[in-house]
Amino acid sequence: PFDVLVVGGGPAGAAAAIYAARKGIRTGVAAERFGGQVLDTMAIENFISVKETEGPKLAAALEQHVREYEVDIMNLQRATALVPAGDDGLVEIKLENGASLKSRSVILSTGARWRQMNVPGEDQYRNKGVAYCPHCDGPLFKGKRVAVIGGGNSGVEAAIDLAGLVTHVTLLEFDDKLRADEVLQKKLRSLGNVTIITSALTQEVLGDGQKVTGLVYQDRVGGDSHRVELEGIFVQIGLLPNTEWLKDTVALSPRGEILIDDRGQTSVPGVFAAGDCTTVPYKQIVIAMGAGSTAALSAFDHLIRTSVP
Ligand code: FAD
């Protein structure tokens, strides 16, 4: 069995694996797709101490760094169930291929995925004007016009944030009213360069073949379609944690995020979690890496307290 088994190979999982392996304990990583969301990212400008890099480059560097250590990397492996430790003290992770792995401690770092609009043009123009993370990509749209899709807390926060950077923000909400907290709505309405459109169904992302040039939405009351000219679209209709497979064994928040304490401990003994799949506020690469390191140190602490030499 492993001493530490990491499930998920994004920034959180890579950091956890390195921190665990540096303790000289038997470490494994099982990941559906090593690299995680970073593989889908283009420019990264907030990975501190690296002025600018690209997602695939950072993902390759993550893997290279993990491979510097004796870590058993099991890529293209999807976990489907977690069985808490019994008398043998081993947590079991079942894989889609029928195999199962046992470990004295487990770190869950399966990340999250942004809910998509699923409209024509969204895939084609992802990273070419269609964006999901205002903290990451906001500055790329300085002096340009953008839309934010979604009038919940994250959409309204994004619109307020972006309004300070870009020339104009159009906020589109499907419902007939915004769902964000009143204090955020009040702030948003006080801004001079924001237009709020409710009852709006986004229908299409428009582009010139290279980048986004606009979008089309349908007014759900009148029924007619409208066009908005702009350079960027921030989709803020939900971040879905990859935790569906854990819902019967590990305590999750109402949004499906793994509940952790400040050491990364979950509700299951010997099971820790880190990164975008958890309740950690703010989902970012450096934050995921810090959380992965915390979880690994906590797992090590757990091992030295529970092991019989
Ligand atoms: P992830 O990166 O999501 O990794 C999850 C890992 O778990 C993957 O290996 C996945 O394959 C695996 N996995 C999932 N389910 C299972 C399962 N059942 N079994 C086994 N493995 C599983 N952040 C920044 O700081 N700066 C940026 O510029 C930036 N830009 C971004 C741009 C885009 C387009 C996106 C989508 C995100 C961006 N982010 C950025 C956010 C950043 O990528 C995430 O915060 C970070 O990757 C989270 O790391 P993680 O390890 O928690 O999860």
Q: Ligand 1: which atom is nearest the Cα of residue 283?
A: 45
Q: Ligand 1 within 6 A of 46 CB? A: yes
Ligand 1 pocket test, candidate residues 62, 285, 289, 293, most atoms within 8 A of CB:
285
288 lines ligand 1 (CB under 6 A): yes
ipTM of the complex: 0.99
CA pair distance 35, 93, nearest whole angstrom? 20
pLDDT band at 307 (very low <50, low <70, confident <90, very high): confident
pLDDT band at 42 (very low <50, low <70, confident <90, very high): confident
Nearest CA to ligand 1 atom 45: 284
Q: 180-209 pLDDT, tens per residue?
A: 999 999 999 999 999 999 999 999 999 999
- Given a contact cutoff of 8 angstroms between Cβ atoms, the answer to whether 271 and 250 are in contact is yes
Residue 308 pLDDT: 59
Q: Is 241 in the pocket of ligand 1 (CB under 6 A)?
A: no
Can you give the pTM of this predicted structure?
A: 0.94
Ligand 1 centroid to Cα of residue 111, in Å, is 5
Q: Which atom of ligand 1 is nearest to the CA of 78?
A: 19
Q: What are the tens digits of pLDDT across the range 206-243?
A: 999 999 999 999 999 999 999 999 999 999 999 999 99
Nearest atom (ligand 1) to Cα of 43:
28
CB of 130 closer than 6 angstroms to any ligand 1 atom: no
Alpha carbon distance 113, 92 (integer Å): 25
Q: Is the pLDDT of residue 83 over 80?
A: yes
Flag whether pLDDT at 174 surpasses 90: yes
Q: What is the mean pLDDT of residues 143-172?
A: 97
CA of 239 to the centre of ligand 1 (A): 11
Distance of CA 84 to the CA centre of its chain: 25
* Helix locations, 164-308, DSSP H: 182-189, 285-306
* Strand runs labelled E in 34-129: 43-44, 53-54, 71-75, 79-83, 91-95, 100-108, 112-114
